[in-house]
Structure 1
């Protein structure tokens, strides 16, 4: 009987191997046909610059007020008192033994975060940090658009380059505060007098201190147009652009609808889909050397492992692209819920291995004060739901009209090691034929400007130098 049992086990293992092989081949074949179908279909119509009105009611007949108003970040004490009362009334749940961050934000660690938030975090002090730089608002397409404007102090203004930097979700303009001195005061931060930028940091409408749209349809193309109008209003007909996450997609569309204004597009998470994308993935899963360099293999393959990581990290995306308002109620009402939802992304998106740590590795790269300041920007503005609507407006359109356009402006890509998605250099050149710079970063994750400001600043500087050396 023992021999028979062993033989049966061997047969089952052999059959299982055959099933896996057959299924793998089937997936590859289907992927190839899907890729060929999607690629052979008509390309999406290039977006137009267009126009829009996102304010309340009908668009008024009179001209929009184009004045620029300086503002200061100052939240009434009543907001903080309400926050503290909610933190005092918090309801937490039991920890699951040895779960780390694999089930989401660890309840045991959340207790320490809430204790610090309630008893040690000083919002008024963080307001002073936020007000280190000048804040402004201006009306564009019916909305109050907030932005930070940092002008360097230099003897030769002709060397200063305008730079528009745009955040993503669940970040904010505050993501760029650590990199700002490296760009506006480079002599004291590892650069030269030829690396000086005048930086504009806007809040995407519905994020930060920008007013949320009152109309449906405000997507990445609309945001690109609004930010271009902002730069022109500030006197910049030509400027450089940097962004990741939504900031990258906004820059991608900006480079399509107004390429003459974009001196160079730099991204740490480049947008766009190269030709035969699914075919490349299918072929690469079996013969990777045919589609990718050997030293890039572990950033794209094995496909099953990367797909599993992506699925584990992207549940929020499906929710926000379909029913963002439903989840928005709980996150708007509970500061603990909001913190868990946002801060969990700063763990797994920085390095997926941090899911196996009790504290999610949050304090390896960020301070609790910085993390809570970003959360507070969402809390005091009550705009987590409007920020999530950006997915509802943008993703369905991206699925129906793939981002498969060719961007012809000078492009620089900083490919961080643990970014959620990785675009190999030879694939990137098919979308960005004028790829001036491509850097495979040795470390870093999704929140590049906040996590690795020096690395990102150095890459941006060398990209701009290369662009200007060609002029």
Structure 2
């Protein structure tokens, strides 16, 4: 027999193996986690389960200190991008002239609370409109932000979700739907306490959020996770508490080729099929080429972490430029597009001020390092409850439906939104609100039937 025959047999065998893996789906046992922990260095004490009202109140002296330090710091020119240099100068002027008290007053128009869970005081917004008739169905919705994000990212969408009729929405078949919205500051972020014991990660975050919803006496609620880390935490939450969560909605999730052997085979199959993919195609499924995926740097925290932390804590410019660069990386494919062409400078400045005043960056980076580089087993969690996924055009990754189904075992819909990147709630709040409403409406209707 000729060598061509044996080569053909080998090729056919490889294709057959890949195809068999392609059509199968992984089914991992649910992740088992410790039911409790305590994230302070002190001896564990019983949590104070009281829910306290909370208002943001940053001292004038801290605002003055921020502006004084920022003014004294020099912006280093890029030497090759005059447009970016001018934009950063403009952003600096906005930060120097920023009326924090006015923005703080606006933030405090959203009802805020804190309560202690696993030794940490957890900050959260809870917003629902008091103007509803007896026929209106109020549905609890937990929204989970990511990094570098915060509850601020949802200030445009919260009024739509809590009072849809005022914004032109009419959802609900037998009765109108509106949401009771809960938006926590993730542990370690903003006005939630920072863990002082080592090892805090995405697993601890999900467990604490589950306890928060239990303390609020909310069951049969929906979850919306976004901005990368928030989507992963939401997925684990749905895996841990499937009987308490009615549905999961995730923006821009990523399921990599290392998720399972089956997933790897799908990526390999797609890579072979896309060898002749046209350059510059408008719709690109990033990472469908496995070589591209493994070239990517995973989330890394520098080995000189303490120096890195000191730069953030002591330099307003360092904090501003880090947040600005991450937002740009996750909001547009165009290197020539600056953030002020996507968001308002006030929106960017508010996020920078919040991160600076709360010294969030060092803690958040440590938590992400623990979550994505050490205890990564949580990233293999699968959601078995009804799930909807939405993707935006400028997010730097995308997974096809068959790959998503490896992680989301009851995937009911995948929607393409016309605008935005990872922080699209600030760009097109109406579209993502519409997608959440449509998913929830469908699930409630199916439950009735």
Secondary structure of the 2:404 match is helix
Quote the residue 2:4 is aligned against. Answer: none
- Report the CA distance shift for 1:42/1:180 in structure 2 as closer, same or farther (over 3 A): closer
RMSD: 3.0
Quote the residue 2:272 is aligned against. Answer: 286
Aligned equivalent of 2:192, options 200, 207, 210 = 210
Does structure 1 conserve the Cα–Cα contact (< 8 Å) formed by 2:40 and 2:120? Answer: yes
Quote the residue 2:307 is aligned against. Answer: 326
Q: In structure 1, what is the Cα distance between the partners aligned to 2:368 and 2:70?
A: 29
- Report the CA distance shift for 1:132/1:45 in structure 2 as closer, same or farther (over 3 A): closer
Aligned equivalent of 1:384, options 351, 361, 378 = 361
Structure 1 residue runs without a partner (length 5+): 1-28, 101-105
Does structure 2 conserve the Cα–Cα contact (< 8 Å) formed by 1:56 and 1:142? Answer: no
Quote the residue 1:429 is aligned against. Answer: 405
Does structure 2 conserve the Cα–Cα contact (< 8 Å) formed by 1:44 and 1:404? Answer: no
Aligned equivalent of 1:199, options 173, 181, 191 = 181
- Report the CA distance shift for 1:94/1:444 in structure 2 as closer, same or farther (over 3 A): closer
Does structure 2 conserve the Cα–Cα contact (< 8 Å) formed by 1:274 and 1:427? Answer: no
- Report the CA distance shift for 1:323/1:204 in structure 2 as closer, same or farther (over 3 A): farther
Q: Please, which moves more after superposition, 65-74 or 262-271?
A: 262-271
Does structure 1 conserve the Cα–Cα contact (< 8 Å) formed by 2:31 and 2:378? Answer: no
- Shift in Å, 1:388: 0.9
Quote the residue 2:336 is aligned against. Answer: 356
Does structure 2 conserve the Cα–Cα contact (< 8 Å) formed by 1:47 and 1:256? Answer: no
Q: In structure 2, what is the Cα distance between the partners aligned to 1:142 and 1:51?
A: 11
State whether structure 2 residue 60 is matched by structure 1 residue 77.
Answer: yes
- Report the CA distance shift for 1:277/1:156 in structure 2 as closer, same or farther (over 3 A): same
- Report the CA distance shift for 1:144/1:470 in structure 2 as closer, same or farther (over 3 A): same
Spell out the pairing of 1:257-272 with structure 2 (5 A cutoff): 257-270=240-253, 272=255
Q: In structure 2, what is the Cα distance between the partners aligned to 1:301 and 1:224?
A: 27
- Shift in Å, 1:178: 0.6
- Report the CA distance shift for 1:210/1:128 in structure 2 as closer, same or farther (over 3 A): same
Residue-by-residue CA offset, 1:375-395 (whole Å, 9 max, x unaligned): 111111112101111112211
Secondary structure of the 2:32 match is coil
Spell out the pairing of 1:336-415 with structure 2 (5 A cutoff): 336-353=317-334, 355-357=335-337, 360=338, 362-397=339-374, 399=376, 401=377, 403-415=379-391
- Report the CA distance shift for 1:198/1:56 in structure 2 as closer, same or farther (over 3 A): same
- Report the CA distance shift for 1:229/1:65 in structure 2 as closer, same or farther (over 3 A): same
- Report the CA distance shift for 1:56/1:398 in structure 2 as closer, same or farther (over 3 A): closer
Residue-by-residue CA offset, 1:237-270 (whole Å, 9 max, x unaligned): 2210001111111111111111111111100022
Does structure 2 conserve the Cα–Cα contact (< 8 Å) formed by 1:44 and 1:402? Answer: no
- Shift in Å, 1:175: 0.6
Residue-by-residue CA offset, 1:54-108 (whole Å, 9 max, x unaligned): 1241102xx32110111111111100111111022112223312376xxxxx444
Does structure 2 conserve the Cα–Cα contact (< 8 Å) formed by 1:152 and 1:184? Answer: yes
Spell out the pairing of 1:136-285 with structure 2 (5 A cutoff): 136-153=113-130, 154-156=132-134, 159-192=137-170, 194-244=176-226, 245-270=228-253, 272=255, 273=259, 275-285=261-271
Residue-by-residue CA offset, 1:132-155 (whole Å, 9 max, x unaligned): 111111111100100011022212
Residue-by-residue CA offset, 1:326-355 (whole Å, 9 max, x unaligned): 3111011111110000011222211111x2
Secondary structure of the 1:267 match is strand
Does structure 2 conserve the Cα–Cα contact (< 8 Å) formed by 1:416 and 1:441? Answer: yes
Question: Structure 2 length as normaliser, TM-score?
Answer: 0.85
- Report the CA distance shift for 1:42/1:449 in structure 2 as closer, same or farther (over 3 A): closer
Structure (1 or 2) with the greater helix fraction? 1
Spell out the pairing of 1:113-128 with structure 2 (5 A cutoff): 113-119=91-97, 121-128=98-105
Q: Please, which moves more after superposition, 257-266 or 401-410?
A: 401-410
Residue-by-residue CA offset, 1:277-312 (whole Å, 9 max, x unaligned): 33322332231499xxxx99622377389659x84x
Quote the residue 1:93 is aligned against. Answer: 76
Quote the residue 1:25 is aligned against. Answer: none
